[in-house]
A and B are shown apart, each in its own frame.
Chain A
């Protein structure tokens, strides 16, 4: 533990006190995710809500049980498990069986987060790691994308969906064709896909709330989205119109959710401003690379996970100068100079 102890000296009063706590931040994130949840219920029916609630419950119970078993203080109150639970549900198709999402919850909380020491210690984003783990059940994850507007009732686990499923815009883009849906539908979320990913409008609304509340800064999402935009406008595939291709890429798949809510996770993103920008650009480059050359249609998950592992390097970029300090000159030719 010693390694992480910060050498903070507490000076004498007066102290500036901020009401900013982990719980407050996480509550804000939950509020920001609400529009996307409402959109999901609107497009996919009440099962979106039950799946999200089951996932939240799974995460909270795993966190509580692990801390209890290991005789550590309970951290359930900081609400971070609730956010993880919501995000896991948001990256799943609405038809995912409940048992599958519960396994993903336990995986995210116990293996990815708690085994490394709990909140603040995890190397990668738990929700994204869970998403990657969910590829264990490929037929459940990517075989059942229901059309938007299919109301799935709260407690059913539909198995036979013939006629209700549709290719997602992401699948069309992977085949180098433009999706059949209009750009407006893509923006509003009237498309097939993971339940919280579909509505770019709702996600942007939530993102705006987070920025206004100063929970996140614009650096990471903006660097991420701009990189994807620039790369896709420069290199459109399949001879499609540059601008339309770029807009479709931006509005499809998990890009908005990833850029606004996952890449900005405090624990797994760089602290320095310069580092955050480089990190965002890296996420963007990798996302486009996975989408263009990977064997899965979507690449946001893997892009952010890989960048998560590299933040140790990015934190060295753009470290601000200490007030009054003179920057050490680079040594050339050893001490003798």
Chain B
């Protein structure tokens, strides 16, 4: 009998602690959810506006590997959201492509790259290299036209492969 009582006490204490913590978490989540969603949406919106300015984005069914979302922007072009493997995990990025299949902009939404090395992939001068490209790209080390970031060849290759994915996707759709 004593054993059963003890086990019950263990179970109940842990249950109570967990329940209280879960309740509090629910509360905090309820309080912050809208704000976080709003911030995420704003960020995605800003990224879309940056890579391909348009008034209306209509969601398309996402296709191949790595493409997480795709939008038709005002019948003038596409915004493709791609996720590629970088040096420190997934790099989430947006690529704008117009109807002719030319890149109009690249924006990195989130990444886990090394600070001051791979993290430089968000820099304007690196991303600007992609604008205007329409053929399959490569970094200069691999015989292409994109100058890799100093000390971050893996990151540069990942971003390049992401842009290539987006270009392929648009070719298929458009």
Residue on B with the closest CB to A136? B151
Q: How far is the CA of A295 from the CA of B150 in the complex (A)?
A: 14
* Residues of chain B from 140 to 167 with CB closer than 8 A to chain A in the complex: 150-151, 153-154
Q: How far is the CA of A271 from the CA of B12 in the complex (A)?
A: 63
* Residues of chain A from 105 to 148 with CB closer than 8 A to chain B in the complex: 138-139
Q: How far is the CA of A139 from the CA of B153 in the complex (A)?
A: 13
Number of A residues near B (Cβ < 8 Å) is: 3
Contact B154 A139 (CB under 8 A): no
> Which residues in A have their C-beta under 8 angstroms from that of B151?
138
Q: How far is the CA of A295 from the CA of B142 in the complex (A)?
A: 13
Contact B154 A138 (CB under 8 A): no
Q: How far is the CA of A295 from the CA of B153 in the complex (A)?
A: 9
Q: How far is the CA of A1 from the CA of B150 in the complex (A)?
A: 44
Q: How far is the CA of A171 from the CA of B150 in the complex (A)?
A: 17
- Shortest distance between the CB of A141 and any CB in chain B (Å): 11
> Which residues in A have their C-beta under 8 angstroms from that of B154?
295
Q: How far is the CA of A87 from the CA of B165 in the complex (A)?
A: 47
> Which residues in B have their C-beta under 8 angstroms from that of A139?
150
- Shortest distance between the CB of B55 and any CB in chain A (Å): 44
Residue on A with the closest CB to B117? A138
> Quick one: CB contact mask for A288-317 with B, threshold 8 Å, 1 for yes?
000000010000000000000000000000
Residue on A with the closest CB to B152? A138
> Which residues in A have their C-beta under 8 angstroms from that of B150?
138-139
> Which residues in B have their C-beta under 8 angstroms from that of A295?
153-154
Q: How far is the CA of A295 from the CA of B154 in the complex (A)?
A: 9
* Residues of chain A from 188 to 228 with CB closer than 8 A to chain B in the complex: none
Q: How far is the CA of A137 from the CA of B151 in the complex (A)?
A: 9
Q: How far is the CA of A324 from the CA of B114 in the complex (A)?
A: 59
- Shortest distance between the CB of A90 and any CB in chain B (Å): 24
- Shortest distance between the CB of A316 and any CB in chain B (Å): 38
Q: How far is the CA of A89 from the CA of B151 in the complex (A)?
A: 22
Q: How far is the CA of A25 from the CA of B151 in the complex (A)?
A: 39
Q: How far is the CA of A33 from the CA of B151 in the complex (A)?
A: 32
Q: How far is the CA of A290 from the CA of B59 in the complex (A)?
A: 46
Q: How far is the CA of A295 from the CA of B151 in the complex (A)?
A: 11
- Shortest distance between the CB of A325 and any CB in chain B (Å): 54
Residue on B with the closest CB to A295? B153
Residue on A with the closest CB to B153? A295
Residue on B with the closest CB to A139? B150
> Which residues in B have their C-beta under 8 angstroms from that of A138?
150-151
Q: How far is the CA of A138 from the CA of B154 in the complex (A)?
A: 15
User: B residues touching A (Cβ–Cβ < 8 Å)?
Assistant: 150-151, 153-154
User: A residues touching B (Cβ–Cβ < 8 Å)?
Assistant: 138-139, 295
Closest 5 CB pairs of A and B: A138-B151, A139-B150, A138-B150, A295-B153, A295-B154
A-B contact pairs, 5 of them (CB 8 A): A138-B150, A138-B151, A139-B150, A295-B153, A295-B154
